[in-house]
Structure 1
Amino acid sequence: MAIPDFQTLNRPLLEYAAGADERRLRDAHDALADAFDLSEEEREQMLPSGRAKLFYNRVAWAATHLKKAGLLEAKRRGVFAITDAGREAIKSGPARITNRYLERYQGFLDFRYQRNNGPADNAEESTPSSSSYDDEQTPEEVLEIAWKTIRGNLEIDLLDQIKQVTPDFFERLVVDVLVAMGYGGERNDAARAVGKSGDGGIDGIIDEDPLGLDVIYLQAKRWEGVVGRPEIQKFAGALQGRRAKKGVFITTSSFTREALEYASLIDNRIILLNGRRLARLMIDHGVGVSTASVYELKKLDSDYFLDE
């Protein structure tokens, strides 16, 4: 089944808490995953950032909202218990306990409208938008989805720009990306014979490491159409002529299924890098992009408050 959103987890989490004097959050993760019959793949599914498991994140946020409403209470780190208000919510509350339902509790209102430190400077800042009133995503999911959308748009813009540069500039760009990834040592002598090797299938050579213990052969082309198997075969043949085992074929377009299959079957290790992946690497390694804004997401350091 689909992974339930965090509001759907509110009542099951309350009912789980009601079954014992205290519950550990880590045990709640597994118990609710079992209750919803989640597959192993669903249990392991990550947030877009890859830093936390999606289902565990949703359980944690359900617990946070229930605590803010006073239906659960924190006993100690990672341990919670149901309150009398929580038992009453199980008894008289709806089948699906949502944020809208939780707004009958003052603690949740203070949390949701950020009123812990008095009134906000203006009404708009203290009121969530109607579109987010019953969001199925946790705040982290909303943040990461927005980040992923912005990054995706940047990849498209970056690739459009790459397609407009000259062939010589594109070859230099490729070298810049590889150097930023740790290949080739110093930028000034990173690549050799780029565009001048005279070998029909090779545009340049770059050291695999700063010491030059091994080399990687490059083919870097701005391509209008999809790159097919014949071009990869030509590149592989050029590598064999040099007794080379490693190559990177980079294009602004993409590769056919036959080209991908061929590259995966031959003895030479050839990496096929399409335009979208090149754009992602440029973003990851700061080539051709600059930082517009930085947002730090911090969490409570519980260890700091431990009384030695």
Structure 2
Amino acid sequence: MFHACYLLTPRKPAAGRSLHMTHTYIGFTMTPKRRLRQHNGELVQGAKKTSKHRPWDMLVVVYGFPNKVLALQFEYVWQHPYNSRFTKAAMQHIKGNKRIGGMRSVRRKLVELYMVLNLPPWRDLKLTVSFTTGDVHDLAKSVVPTELPVTMQTQIASLDALPQGTRYDETACSICLAPFDAGQSMLRCYHADCPLRSHVACIDECFPEDSRHLPTRVGYCPYCDNELRWTELVARSGNESSPAKKPQRRPEACLEQAQPPRVRSASDDEAPFLDLSFDDVVIHDLTRDAACDRVVDLTSE
């Protein structure tokens, strides 16, 4: 499974003033190339926070996280390195240092990136820091005061050259990766070319908790980042189950008239809330830009 965090900056215009290299955005994605297209308005839905300074360039992609939780933790810490209790002590000496650039500059975000990667729990991970251009790679080498841990590597590669998370197991949940049990219902994203199949409880995590009792619930698919409506998600999935778990049909049953699947109504689509808990971390519901992931807040004491 491909989990990555990335760094954006507004593209440098041919003429005129620009926020290029002085303004940045950090996010999480499973599909970097598609996500960049969303930030630039080429694909509908999502990426509303970055609509103001389009077009954007993706400068750095950090990937190799073993699971989504660690990737989301890293995303939050890279966004807020001076607030997280895991990093603020190590970052205090550079907080007011103007020599490494403004608080949202590319230079500073590169320094913060390398410093965070040298802290637990990320320093022991086998991560790859991929730069999309040689210029950004050279900038990182010139401004970063520390090397990456020996478990990590750097590279210069285009977004097309990055590993693609295109291998999907239809017998397992796309979110938690656990296999579907026999006879267990699953929901699937109804957007074209999206492979997501999920447990009801897992996809329920992608919708705001306070909307569970509303007749209309809206969230975002964690794979394609498109908007999902709960009633439509349930209706289109019908009573589908995992392909590997479907009962074997008698040959003569194929000749019988198939009954249409029962479509659940809005009144019975309540999904059990999956209450995740982690040592020393508190999970908060935050409204994410074009993502429905549960963001891990590392600042809670």
TM class by shorter chain equals: under 0.3
Higher helix share: 1
Query: TM-score normalised to the size of structure 2?
Result: 0.26
